[in-house]
Amino acid sequence: MSFKPASWPRKLRSQEWFGGTGRDQIYHRGWMKNQGFPHDMFDGRPVIGVLNTWSELTPCNAHLRDLAERVKNGVYEAGGFPVEVPVFSAAESSFRPTAMMFRNLAAMAVEEAMRGQPMDGAVLLVGCDKTTPSLLMGAASTDLPSIVVTGGPMLNGYFRGERVGSGTHLWKFSEAVKAGEMSADDFLEAEASMSRSPGSCNTMGTASTMASMAEALGMALSGNAAIPAVDSRRRMMAQLSGRRIVEMVKDDLKPSDILTKPAFENAIRTNGAIGGSTNAVIHLLAIAGRVGVDLTLDDWDRCGRDIATIVNLMPSGAYLMEEFFYAGGLPVVLKHLCEAGLLYKDALTVSGAPIWDEVREAVNHNPDVILPVDRALTQQGGIAVLKGNLAPNGAVIKPSAASPHLLKHRGRAVVFDDIDHYKARIGDDALDVDETCVLVLKNCGPRGYPGMAEVGNMGLPPKVLKKGVTDMVRISDARMSGTAYGTVILHTSPEAATGGPLAVVRDGDMIEIDVEARRLHLDISEAELAARLAEWSPPPDQPESGYAWLHQTYVQGADTGADLDFLRGCRGAPVGRDSH
Ligand code: FES
């Protein structure tokens, strides 16, 4: 791919606000000068929005104000004018009903913050799960030059000498308490060991996955994803990115130049190699939808098939992001994939160079963390897309997080109509369930929950856990935390709340899964399935106003990225009429 720089200097869009001696320009500059900015900041240099998802209620991003200062230093050094702008921060750990319901709202807010204000490019300061895709989606829809800087992962957690992975050990400890193998007091003591520094989840959960996806897509500088939040090199990365965005504006290097179909295919293959989160499926589909790239679930299955998972990180493996960084980080993985002929080496990155140029010198410093292919965690990494009468539009499973003996299974359905039904029934010793059953959870999709909560890895019944069983087949239209594990089939589409076949599964039905054959089958006749679907009616209690109504009315299925239908597409960044 060749990239031709635009002629420079040229008039930038920010000059519509700040350039000239008219009343409107004096108005815009005058207000800005109340912050003490000297006049030459408005002389036609690139104005860079430092879009900051800092929030004390997004603890994973709570250190981003410090990083923003480093970004600004870099922007100034390169001759730009940085302006820090707070944007919607969809916190994974505390937003209810689920942060995912607000990803699209955040993306919409970011898009309009970029389009409606005087900026020529943006640094996307992100970290926590939904913050990365939401800002990428918004930036993609404006197509203004943009670069991702993530906040970086937390340092390793340790409890009594053992590594504690964000999320992963929360699930493990919680199940151990239910099984009577861990005391409630020990669980409380472990809490303090889980998050011992600033930063995002330290496992290969969704935050680390999306940081890796941003880098694999070419939207972040090489090496960005794995640098720990508190490492001095994280600050350097922020400063270098600040310098780089100014050059990107001068070169008019836009998201649409970088976010091409080959870039998405590179990211999908990378996701297989790192054992990345199933959430990446939904987010990449949504980002692709913003730039008009025709990416589908079938692309996920095709590109991810037979990619060896070589990054030995929890939840699939043993280590954490800190060790991934010391081992060389994502550039080592990208170099391996390039050398194996699995990536488009000439895919453009924010540096202006192709991805191969960025990673060709990478060195693996720890082959226990970044494994050779013959010692891979699995040769069939990636995300498998299952189809059948239970999921005509597809469902996904992460085989590397599943139990091999359950990847082909036939079992009796134990059905929960929604999350409240599940919570009410799962602990009941009278529940007719054993480890051969298939747990089915309905009405937790994009519309049903609403927002598609991460409840797909529903905990096992205590009576099964007490037998020492740690995994069962679970099927739902929900998502799963990237830090979770198990034989968990997710994103079943169409979802139950829109009348997908999941809605009509009943207790006692037999369900067959065959991951190798990519099959998910409800073993009832076509006539029976049709009769049940004809009887189906939508669940009650739909919201009648507010954002929840907007979300439920316009959200699309998980199989296309769960974006709001009117937000798909690139609308560019035309400068609107001045209001004064
Ligand atoms: Fe924020 Fe995991 S909860 S990164």
Within-domain flag for 551: no
Residue 42 reports pLDDT greater than 70: yes
* CA of 304 relative to ligand 1 center, distance in Å: 25
Q: Which of 58, 200, 313, when mutated, tests ligand 1's pocket best, judged by the most ligand atoms within 8 Å of its CB?
A: 200
pLDDT value of position 485: 82
Q: Which atom of ligand 1 is nearest to the CA of 59?
A: 1
Q: Does one domain contain both 94 and 238?
A: yes
Q: Does one domain contain both 403 and 299?
A: no
In this structure, the dihedral spanned by the alpha carbons of residues 166, 172, 177 and 181, taken in order and rounded to 10 degrees, is -130
* CA of 538 relative to ligand 1 center, distance in Å: 33
Within-domain flag for 461: yes
Q: Does one domain contain both 303 and 435?
A: no
Which residue, 375, 402, 433, sits at the end of a domain? 375
Q: Of 41, 267, 229, 224, give the one whose Cα is nearest residue 123.
A: 224
Q: Is the CB of 201 under 6 A from ligand 1?
A: yes
Q: Which atom of ligand 1 is nearest to the CA of 200?
A: 4
Residue 381 reports pLDDT greater than 90: no
Q: Is the CB of 150 under 6 A from ligand 1?
A: no
* CA of 338 relative to ligand 1 center, distance in Å: 30
Output the residue whose Cα is nearest ligand 1's atom 2. 201
Q: Is the CB of 200 under 6 A from ligand 1?
A: yes
Q: Does one domain contain both 248 and 371?
A: yes
* CA of 570 relative to ligand 1 center, distance in Å: 28
Q: Which atom of ligand 1 is nearest to the CA of 58?
A: 1
pLDDT value of position 481: 87
Q: Is the CB of 205 under 6 A from ligand 1?
A: yes
The backbone region for 58, taken as left when phi is positive above 0, alpha when psi lies in -120 to 50, beta otherwise, is beta
CATH number of the CATH domain containing 403: 3.50.30.80
Within-domain flag for 174: yes
Q: Does one domain contain both 185 and 114?
A: no
- Percent residues over pLDDT 90 in the chain: 89
Sign of CA dihedral 130, 131, 137, 138: positive
pLDDT in tens, 7-16: 678 899 999 9
Average pLDDT over residues 263-274: 98
Identify the burial level of 100 via C-beta atoms within 10 angstroms of its C-beta, where 0-12 means exposed, 13-18 middle and 19 or more buried.
Answer: buried
Within-domain flag for 308: yes
Q: Is the CB of 454 under 6 A from ligand 1?
A: no
* Phi and psi angles of residue 51, each rounded to the nearest 5 degrees, phi first: -80, 110
Q: Does one domain contain both 417 and 506?
A: yes
pLDDT value of position 580: 63
Within-domain flag for 4: no
Q: Does one domain contain both 283 and 215?
A: yes
- Percent residues over pLDDT 70 in the chain: 98
Which residue, 340, 375, 410, sits at the end of a domain? 375
Mean pLDDT is lowest, of 112-126, 173-187, 265-279, 410-424, for 173-187
* CA of 203 relative to ligand 1 center, distance in Å: 10
Q: Which of 60, 64, 155, 164, when mutated, tests ligand 1's pocket best, judged by the most ligand atoms within 8 Å of its CB?
A: 60
Output the residue whose Cα is nearest ligand 1's atom 1. 128
* CA of 170 relative to ligand 1 center, distance in Å: 13
pLDDT value of position 579: 64
The number of folded domains in the chain is 3
Got the DSSP string for 305-368? TT--B-B-BTTTSSB-HHHHHHHT-HHHHHHHHHHTT-S-TT-B-TTSSBHHHHHTT---S-TT
Within-domain flag for 501: yes
Q: Does one domain contain both 279 and 426?
A: no
Could you give the CA distance from residue 456 to residue 480 in angstroms, rounded to a whole number?
5
The answer to whether 127 and 207 have CB atoms below 8 angstroms apart is yes
* CA of 362 relative to ligand 1 center, distance in Å: 28
Q: Does one domain contain both 203 and 251?
A: yes
Tokens at 50, concatenated: 């430092």
Residue 2 reports pLDDT greater than 50: no
Average pLDDT over residues 555-577: 95
Q: Does one domain contain both 363 and 389?
A: no
Structural domain of residue 518, as residue ranges?
384-539
The model's pTM is 0.96
Which residue, 356, 375, 394, sits at the end of a domain? 375
pLDDT in tens, 290-302: 999 999 999 999 9
pLDDT in tens, 188-240: 999 988 899 999 999 999 999 999 999 999 999 999 999 999 999 999 999 99
* CA of 128 relative to ligand 1 center, distance in Å: 5
Q: Does one domain contain both 292 and 149?
A: yes
Q: Which atom of ligand 1 is nearest to the CA of 166?
A: 2
pLDDT value of position 282: 98
Q: Which atom of ligand 1 is nearest to the CA of 207?
A: 4
Residue 54 reports pLDDT greater than 80: yes
Within-domain flag for 35: no
400 or 37: whose pLDDT is higher?
37
Within-domain flag for 305: yes
* CA of 342 relative to ligand 1 center, distance in Å: 30
* CA of 202 relative to ligand 1 center, distance in Å: 9
Q: Does one domain contain both 394 and 408?
A: yes
